[in-house]
Amino acid sequence: MEQKEIMIRLKGITKAFPQKKGTLEVLHGIDLDIEKGEIFGIIGLSGAGKSTLVRCINLLERPTEGQVFLDGQELTCLSEKDLRQARRSMGMIFQQFHLLMQRTAMENVCFPMEIAGVKKAEAREKAKELLELVGLGDRMESYPSQLSGGQKQRVAIARALATNPKILLCDEATSALDPNTTAGVLELLKDINKRLGITIVVITHEMKVIQEICNRVAIISEGKIAEMGSVQEIFRAPKTQIGQELVFHEG
């Protein structure tokens, strides 16, 4: 059998948040391998720990225990300085886009390159290519307030790609969009996966999104992986009660 290469490896990830009294552990020892080139889905009820898990992948949250590896490199042992460098190989997009409102689409996409020290002319050239890739070649000088939700998410995707990431993390990236706009953004993500070979992790509470673009999916429940498998398998015959609830009732 062909040996798959691992892009993201999580080993024994736990995360506890400090509380007024003691701590609240929201992830309890997550082991997960995501292969190079996959579009991998993570589903679960609200509060299950999906966002915390994805924020542990790029170390926006430091796991309390466990290790994160990206393309064979351990991230959890890096200094803040080395981690800033490593984060450039991980793009992220969010439900609420998080664009800089005072900057044009072009300037938003240039922003991570400015921080990385890329020369201005070079950054603009790259941003232009990326905005064309996401279908906004004619809206480069628009401000976020002048763009629709779908267009804003496209700018956010172009910005996430600006530092040539190996992975793209999507946390409820289509949850604020209507079904038609969602379909367009999902097509774009598929295209990016295929054309640029970027591994994509999709977190969502929308079962249709998973069925539309993912190869494999993990179900997370109360901070643990309840089950994991190919999208076909899980959607045909979920083995756990939480799997059945999600697949048969939420979808």
- Residue 49 site contact among ligand ADP, Mg ion, none (CB < 5 to 8 Å, cut-off depends on kind): ligand ADP
The interface region with ligand ADP, picked from 50-58, 108-116, 140-148, 188-196 by CB under 6 A, is 50-58
**Closer to ligand ADP by Cβ: residue 49 or 144:** 49
The answer to whether residue 112 forms part of the interface with ligand ADP (CB under 6 A) is no
The residue from 4, 12, 17, 191 that contacts ligand ADP (CB under 6 A) is: 17
Considering the complex, what minimum distance in angstroms separates the CB of residue 104 from ligand ADP? 31
Cβ-proximal residues to 142 (8 Å cutoff; 6+ apart), any chain? 104, 105, 151
- Give, rounded to a whole angstrom, the gap between the first and last alpha carbons of the chain: 34
- Residue 52 site contact among ligand ADP, Mg ion, none (CB < 5 to 8 Å, cut-off depends on kind): ligand ADP
The residue from 47, 137, 197, 251 that contacts ligand ADP (CB under 6 A) is: 47
3-state secondary structure 100-149: CCCCCHHHHHHHHHHHCCCCHHHHHHHHHHHHHHCCCCCCCCCCHHHCCH
Give the three-state DSSP class for 19.
coil
Pair of tokens at residue 57: 């992948």
The residue from 41, 44, 63, 238 that contacts ligand ADP (CB under 6 A) is: 44
Using CB under 6 A, which residues numbered 52 to 91 contact ligand ADP? 52
Cα–Cα nearest to 177, from 201, 146, 145, 154: 154
The answer to whether residue 51 forms part of the interface with Mg ion (CB under 5 A) is yes
The interface region with ligand ADP, picked from 45-53, 69-77, 116-124, 149-157 by CB under 6 A, is 45-53
Considering the complex, what minimum distance in angstroms separates the CB of residue 210 from Mg ion? 15
Q: Which DSSP category does 49 fall into?
A: S
d(CA 183, CA 46): 23
Pair of tokens at residue 217: 């999916």
The residue from 50, 139, 159, 166 that contacts ligand ADP (CB under 6 A) is: 50
Distances (CA, A) of 166 to 204, 220, 233: 21, 24, 27
Pair of tokens at residue 2: 């062909």
Cα–Cα nearest to 196, from 225, 162, 156: 162
- Residue 180 site contact among Mg ion, ligand ADP, none (CB < 5 to 8 Å, cut-off depends on kind): none
Which amino acid would we find at residue 71? D
Beta bridge partners of 200: 39, 168
The answer to whether residue 108 forms part of the interface with Mg ion (CB under 5 A) is no
Residues that bind ligand ADP (CB under 6 A): 17, 24, 26, 44, 46-52
